[in-house]
Amino acid sequence: MKTALHLQDADAFYEQLLDAHQGLSMEASELLNARLILLLANQVGDAQVLKECIEAARQTAPE
């Protein structure tokens, strides 16, 4: 799993992500996120990396 920055343009990506959610209900947003995760996971492909990402996401406890 990469932990260093790999995004070409982090700010532009973040803006695109928020824009994609604009005007959606919370339920519709959750569904969008779920679809997006599955799409991105297929881009990654590597089973070991996906496993580590899932673990990292679970470990990062919200404050």
Binding site for other proteins (CB under 8 A): 2-7, 10-11, 14-15, 17-18, 21, 24, 26, 29, 56, 59-63
Nearer Cβ to other proteins, position 3 or 42? 3
Q: How far is the CB of 5 from other proteins (least distance, A)?
A: 4
Report how far residue 25's alpha carbon sits from residue 1's, in angstroms, rounded to the nearest whole number: 32
| Alpha-helical segments (H) within 1-63 | 10-21, 26-44, 47-59
Nearer Cβ to other proteins, position 6 or 45? 6
The tokens describing 8, both together, are 């070409």
Nearer Cβ to other proteins, position 27 or 38? 27
Q: Residue 3's closest CA among 58, 57, 63?
A: 57
